[in-house]
Structure 1
C-alpha cells in the first residue's frame, strides 16, 4: 500500500478479507460515477467489523492531492459486499482552499485605495470616546484648538498596538538599515517627535532623501543622519591619478629591414 494517509489507531485494525479484497468493486463504483479518471489504489482502512474504506488517487483537474473514498459494507459472516458511500476527500498533500474569513477581516494593510470607505470595526477596542461638544462656542472653540474636537481617540490598547507595529516594522531598531546606521534618529536634526505619550519613542522623519514622512522609532537610524560626515582626504594613495586627457609618448624600436637575395644573381 503506497502513499496511504496517516490514520487514527482504531482504523489500523485488520480489515476483513472479504472487504479488503473488493478493490475492483470499489473502482467500478467510481467509474460508474463518471466524474473522471480513477487513479491508483492507495489502500484500505478499517471502519468497523462490517465496513471498510478504499482510497484511490483522484485525477481531477484542480484537485491535486485529493482522494476518492469508497465505503464498502458486508454483514458479519457474509461474503456479499455492497457499496455504501462515495466521497471526494483531501489527502495529506491536497491543495485546498484557505479558511473562510468574514468580509470585514479580509482587508489588509495597503488594500485601501482612493475613494474607498473603511469604517472601524464594531466596538473597536482601539478607539474610545473623545470630547463631546457642549454647545458653548467659547468652550468648543478652545476644545478644537487643543485637539479635543474628535468624537473618538486612540485608547491605550490602540496606542500600544500601533507602537508595537511601528517598532517591529521597516523603520524599527531591528531593521537592516538601523543595524548599519552610524547613529540613531533621536539624535538627528531631521527627527520630528510625535505628540502625547508616543513622543517618548517615536517621531516622523523630515529628510526627503531618507524615510521622509514615515513614523520612525527613536533608535532607528540611516546613513542620511544630520551629523553624517563624508570621509576626508583626496582619495586613495594606493594608485596614481589617471588623466585620460593626457597624451603619452612611447618610443618604439626602429624596424629591422630584411633584404632577400635574388637567386639569379648567384649564377
Structure 2
C-alpha cells in the first residue's frame, strides 16, 4: 500500500485536515482505529494518536504511538475506509510502521554477498551464483572415452569452467597470500619454488605462475604456491658443515712411562 507524506501532530493537537471523507477523520473513526490497533497489540498499551495519512478519497491511515518494547520510534498504522453514505467505517489494515528515528533492521544482504572465505564448514552446501562471473559454460560430454580423457585434461567435459575473470581473481588472491612472492618466507628464502624438486605445477593457464608444494616438512605442503615463492626447504639447498672446534691432523702423547717388573711368585 502506497502512503503519502504523513501529516503529523503532537499528542495534544488534533491531526491537520486532509482531503478525504470527513467521516474517516472524526472521533468515531479514530476510536475504531485505536480499538483495532489495541486488538493487534494485545496487552501492550497503544499510545497517542499522532497523525493521519490520506490514502485516497475513501480511505485514510491513522497513526498511534507504539509503546512496545524494542520498537522505539514506531507507530501503529491503521487504515480505515468508508464506502459512502449509509455504510459504516471499516478497518482495512493494521501494521507497525517505523518513523524517521526508529530502530530498524539493516537492509537484507543476499547470501552470496555475506559469505566469506573460511565460512564453509563440514557438511555445508555452497552453490555458486547463477550469474557468477568467475565461471563460464563448458562443453557437453562425449561418448568417446578417448575424447573424454583429453577433454578433462584441458578443462572440457564440465558444465562450467573458470572464466578469464575467475582466473585473474584467483591469481591475484594467491599472489598476495601467505604463499606468494611478497611473503616474509619468500623474501628470506635461498631459492624459488620454480626450481624446486618438490614443486608440482598446476595445469591450465595458471600453471605459468602457480604450483603445489609437495614437501611435507614445509608450511606450504599441499598449498598452492607462486613460482617465485620460496622457503628454506628448497630441494637444492646445501649446508656446509664447519666444525665448531678445530681438530689437529695428528694426535700423539710424548709422556714417559716408568716400567717396573713384578717380583717372582715364589719370593712372596
> With structure 2 as the length reference, what TM-score do the two structures score?
0.48
For the pair shown, which has the larger CA radius of gyration, 1 or 2? 2
